Structure 1
């Protein structure tokens, strides 16, 4: 049974930050699992994603779903792309960087729209 916890706005933003870190960790483990053939990263994928979705269920009780999902997926995408460039030595192109910039603009726009 899910506890009847409704975070304050400040708590919800901190929880969202934790959710983003968990989602990024799960996505990195997805790469480390080598096509789901290594059991340790596979186990971590499940743990990180379950925790991420579970905690996110509390965050959406306080913050708007559109903002939560945009920030969660947008920040996660940008951070995961940066990890891919830096850690996994994936190629960086102008188109990729411009696309990441558009994601950031979109997330900021949704957040600004939620405040008005």
Structure 2
């Protein structure tokens, strides 16, 4: 269950980084609320998962999910660059996350 919650927390990290793009100095209330809810849920789920999973492992997995997800959202919706090298580097991060899961 802790791993599921950690993954969910990582997905909420993607939510708060995406919302952060639109908060406009925290003047856009709807996006600011989305950011605050997402960051609260993300951090809360990380904290809860880290009660079972070692903190270093939990943080690395949580951050990796957030990083990969944010890059994918950027490429898919915001015109960020794509390319073979970028895709390979994303796969390296995913492999590292999977490796941490298998050793944790």
Taking structure 2 as the reference length, the TM-score comes to 0.83
Which runs of 5 or more structure 2 residues have no equivalent in the other structure?
Answer: none
In the alignment, structure 1 residue 60 sits paired with structure 2 residue 45: no
Which runs of 5 or more structure 1 residues have no equivalent in the other structure?
Answer: 1-10
Aligned residue-pair number: 104
Q: Is the 8 A contact 1:66 1:110 kept in 2?
A: no
RMSD across aligned C-alpha pairs, in angstroms?
1.8
In the alignment, structure 1 residue 90 sits paired with structure 2 residue 80: yes
Runs of 4+ in 1 over 3 A off after TM superposition: 34-37
Work out which structure has the larger RCO, using CA pairs closer than 8 Å and 6 or more positions apart in sequence: 2
Q: Is the 8 A contact 2:12 2:42 kept in 1?
A: yes
Q: CA deviation at 1:36?
A: 4.2
Q: CA deviation at 1:35?
A: 5.2
| Inter-CA distance 15–74: structure 2 relative to 1 (3 Å threshold) | same
